[in-house]
Amino acid sequence: MRRYVLVVAVLAAIAVPVFLGLVALGSGLVLNMAYDKVAIRLADKMDLADGRQGRRILAFGGSNTFFDFRGVDVEAATGLPSINLGTHSGNGLKFLLWQAEATARPGDIVLLPLEDGYYTEPGITYYGANVSLAMGADFFRDLPLADKVTYLRNIHVGRLFKVVGARLDLGDYELEPDWTFPINANGDMEAPKPPAEQVSALIADVSGQRSSRVSLTPEAAATIQEFVARMKAKDIKFVFSLPGIMENAAPDAGQVEDLRAQLAALGADFLDLPERGSIPAEMMFDTIYHASTEGAEVYTAQLIQALCGSAERLDISCDEARVRAARDLLKARAERAYLFDASDTLAPLQPSGAGSPVILGPGQTERFLVASLRGCRSRLEIVAEGDGPLSVRVAGKAMDDLILSGEPTTGTYMLPDRAGLVPVEILASKVSRVRLTRIDRTSRCRR
């Protein structure tokens, strides 16, 4: 038994220094693992923030912030440099708050949209440890002893083998080209428009989901309370908001009020978003939290309304024309559907369009897609005026013609129960004169 204990002790005496040495060698070393992609993107964004002078608006968060926050729009509205520092919520709340504290300067406004992963306090996460290691030793150095131990336990062993290979020049650990979407000077993602098949599959897969948590655990609340107190002492304004989220998954008014009260008890400010972060399903990208560019514009318009509605409290001055444009976009979004894959002819009827009527010539056909959501009664409304019949097909099925006789006429069509993007075709007859004035998709969803 003594011999066994002695062998274990000797092995430990050898292994621990070797392990710590490999961790030290891996500090600041960028490899070709998923953690390194997050580390590179985060370092790039922190450099963008560091390069901007004066007061700034800094949005920290996970991939929800990465996809949905448009710093370029917030900067245009507030006049303050606005940087999107969102990356990955798996980094954990503790690493996120450390990142915010390390980046923010006195006078800054720090914004944190609370996506699901930040309502709990998991401590030092697997992702947070490996991402921060690729960025250097600063996060580890600032941790208390117990968290340092957790950090070391979470280091990926495979990463340490790659550290050896990289330091000894034994392999190629470069990331593949085009491994992520580009970002602009505000740190915003410039994502391509997703294909219809991707969005339809997403809606079919997740449109019945709900935001899983809208309340802080005691551990997360304590961490946030301590952090907010430190930020106030440094003259940094820190505000929370809801994240962007697919329309039928947005929290209800009661949940939002409870969250606001919980944050107020912690001394934290909360921004009321006009539509509770809701984004139309047709404007999502690949999860209930990730929007396409059009969806990001809708979410950011809500943030602009909220930020500028709190201008006195936040000590900012907003451009009235930009605020009005944000308000108009939200109003249009509430009245007009986003017509996926519609032609440029229908652009005036999109939420971002002018809302002016669209004239269809005799025999002209227009096609587009709208969302049908799981657990919801979804319907399409088409408003037109003119003379003659307007044929409508929904999901390939002929509907009753919309008969026009001068006055504005509304046709209402129920969408199929099957969740996904539904194809719609409208056809003006060869003797019709048609002015389309509005196309809207509404969904009444069970809670």
Interval 285-313 mean pLDDT: 95
Residue 64 reports pLDDT greater than 50? yes
Q: How far is CA 41 from CA 56, 68, 124, in A?
A: 19, 16, 20
The reported pLDDT for the residue numbered 20 is 62
Please list the residues that pair with 404 across neighbouring strands.
388
pLDDT in tens, 121-172: 888 888 888 888 888 889 889 999 998 888 888 888 888 777 777 777 776 7
Interval 313-341 mean pLDDT: 95
Per DSSP, the three-state class of 86 is: strand
pTM: 0.92
**Residue 236 CB neighbour total at 10 angstroms:** 19
**Range from 26-40, 118-132, 363-377 carrying the lowest mean pLDDT:** 26-40
CA triple 90-288-447, angle to 5 deg = 120
Q: How far is CA 350 from CA 15, 122, 282, 316, 439, in A?
A: 63, 42, 12, 31, 8
* Confidence label for 29 from pLDDT (cuts 50, 70 and 90): confident
Contact status, residue 296 vs residue 183, Cβ threshold 8 Å: no
Contact status, residue 314 vs residue 239, Cβ threshold 8 Å: yes
* DSSP per position, 179-194: -S--B-TTS-B-PPPP
